[in-house]
Amino acid sequence: MKKKTIAIDMDGVLADVESQIINHYNKAYGTHLTKESIQGLSEDEAFKERELLHGILNKDNFFRTLPVMPDAVESVRELQKNFEIFIVSAATEFPISLAEKVAWLAEHFPFIKWENIVLCGSKRIINTDYLIDDHCKNLDYCMGKPIMFTAFHNINQTHHLRVNNWKEAVAVLNETL
């Protein structure tokens, strides 16, 4: 039988972009933001200096050096047994990130083949059975079943099925088999 397909977002789902931005932002701006202090804020509210944030996100090696989310590697490997996995990232927003994201995946997720890496703009064209993502701008318009991965900016959004971590994501998806 054909395996069901899952599209998995990178930033905020496989890669801990939150910690990386906080570190860079605090260093550059002398703030003392923490993961706890930005819970429930939008990205604009959490990182008020938009120019500074833009500079951070466009810096060489920002995406290449992102920490991996806890349990992400083992969980994707586990899901791969029963699902076809596609890594789907709206990477063209930050052109410098394209090569860095491919290199990051090769280092941390070498079991994902190049055919299953989709670096794109809008995710509205993604037609997998499931999409795991942290942003409503993607989840609200995907063709398959949306699964919201908890992030500081989405904790007050309640209209999608939510998973708080990778262990929960695997449990929810394996239950569909």
> Which residue type occupies 20?
Q
In terms of DSSP H, where are the helices of 12-112?
17-29, 43-46, 50-57, 72-79, 97-108
Go through 124-151 and write b for each residue having 16 or more CB atoms within 10 A of its CB, e for each that does not.
eebebbbbbbbbeebbeebeebbbbbbb
**Is residue 100 a contact point for Mg ion (CB under 5 A)?**
no
Q: Does 12 bind Mg ion (CB under 5 A)?
A: yes
9 is catalytic: yes
Question: What does the alpha-carbon distance between residue 136 and residue 145 come to, in Å, rounded to a whole number?
Answer: 13
Among the candidate windows 20-28, 70-78, 133-141, 156-164, which touches Mg ion by CB under 5 A?
133-141
For Mg ion, which residue of 16, 18, 100, 134 counts as binding (CB under 5 A)? 134
Stretch of 30-38, 51-59, 132-140, 163-171 lying at the interface with Mg ion (CB under 5 A):
132-140
- Give the residue, chosen from 6, 9, 69, 79, that forms a contact with Mg ion under the rule CB under 5 A: 9
Residues near 166 by beta carbon (within 8 Å), at least 6 away in sequence: 69, 70, 71, 72, 74, 75
Q: How far apart are CA 124 and CA 118, in angstroms?
A: 13
What residue number has its CB nearest to Mg ion?
Answer: 12
What distances in angstroms separate CA 84 from CA 93, 115, 119, 124, one per listed residue? Answer: 26, 11, 17, 19
Instruction: Name the residue nearer to Mg ion (CB basis): 83 or 134.
Output: 134
Q: Measured from the CB atom, is 87 or 173 closer to Mg ion?
A: 87
Complex with Mg ion: residue 82 or 92, whichever CB lies closer: 92
Rank residues 9 and 16 by Cβ distance to Mg ion and give the closer one.
9
Under rule CB under 5 A, residue 16 binds Mg ion: no
* Residues tagged active-site: 9, 11
Q: Which residues bind Mg ion (CB under 5 A)?
A: 9, 11-12, 134
